Amino acid sequence: MSSGSVEQFQQSLSRLDAASTVVSPDELEATIADLADPPAIGAELPFDDLSLAETPVTLGPSPAQLRDAVTGVTGSRMGIASLGTVAVESREEGDEFVALYPERHVVVIKASDLRSDLADAFGWIRGEFEADRQSFILATGPSSTGDMGALVQGVHGPEQVHIVIVRDNE
């Protein structure tokens, strides 16, 4: 059940210097094709009704492809509207690597999976832990550091983050 709003989520993302696009399910493949600067890699989406199979994204890349990729596409089953956070799950599909190596991280999330705030998100996390799904990274905006004398984005993780919010079928 969603209680977070798409508008608030997008506002939070813009504060983080992260881009976002709202699409219908039908538009997803074309949108990914647009956003996936090549070479692009991906981890198959954790949704029954949405897939990266028909997009120009290499699933299950080789180590060389992983290192060379400019774009990495993953899905997320939970976002936090007030913070612009997405949950990246550690799965056999390799989401963790796809989300970290390339300089651009494209995240597909369903509007219905947005939670309102961190407290709401923790309700979801507790449920996931009970269901034995227990490894998530709550990622908020691009990776950054202040250690080199000024704030710089893109350190060990992505420099750009683009969130694709998929509207629910009506």
Partner 1 sequence: MSESEQLDADRIRTLLESEGDEIKENTRLFNAERYDAVEAVGEAEHEDNRSRAREIKEDAIERLPELVDRTREAVEANGGTVYVADDAADANRYISEVADDADADSVVKSKSMTTEEIDLNEALEADGLDVWETDLGEFVVQIAEEAPSHIVGPSLHKSREEITELFEREFDPDESLDSAEKLTAFAREYLGGRIDDAEVGVTGANFVMADSGSIALVTNEGNARKCASIPDTHVAVAGIEKIIPSVAELEPFAELISRSATGQEIPQYLSLLTPPVDTPAIDFDSEDEPGFGNSDADREFHLVLLDNGRREMREDDDLRETLYCIRCGACANSCANFQSVGGHAFGGETYTGGIATGWEAGIEGNDVAEEFNDLCTGCSRCVNACPVKIDIPWINTVVRDRINRGKDPGFDDMLVDGLMPDEEESGTPLRKRFFGNFETAAKIGSATAPLSNAVASTGLARKAMESVLGVDARRDLPEFERTTLRDWAEGRESPVEAPERRVALYPDVYTNYVQTERGKAAVRVLEALGCEVVVPDVGGSGRAPLSQGMIATAERKAEDVAESVLPYVEDGYDVVVVEPSDLAMFRREYEKLLPAEEHERIDQGSYEILEYVFGLLENGASADALPGGDGDGVAYHSHCQQRTLGLESYTETVLERLGYDVLTSDVECCGMAGSFGYKSEYYDLSMDVGATLADQFEAVADERTVVASGTSCMEQLDSLLSPGTRHPVELLDPAGR
What type of residue sits at position 84? G
When binding is defined by CB under 8 A, the residue of 14, 24, 33, 122 that contacts partner 1 is: 122
When binding is defined by CB under 8 A, the residue of 69, 136, 162, 165 that contacts partner 1 is: 136
| Nearest to partner 1 of 31, 97 (CB atom) | 97
User: In whole angstroms, how close is the CB of 29 to partner 1 at the nearest point?
Assistant: 22
Residue 140 in the binding site for partner 1 (CB under 8 A): yes
CB 108 within 8 A of CB 162: no
| Nearest to partner 1 of 28, 87 (CB atom) | 87
Tokens of residue 79, six digits:
């976002």
Question: b or e along 54-92 (b: 16 or more beta carbons within 10 Å of the residue's beta carbon)?
Answer: ebebbbebeeeebeebebbbbbbbbbbbbbbbbbbbeee
Residue 141 in the binding site for partner 1 (CB under 8 A): yes
Q: Name the residues that contact partner 1, by CB under 8 A.
A: 60-67, 83, 85, 90-92, 94-97, 100, 118-119, 122, 125-126, 129, 134-152, 154-158
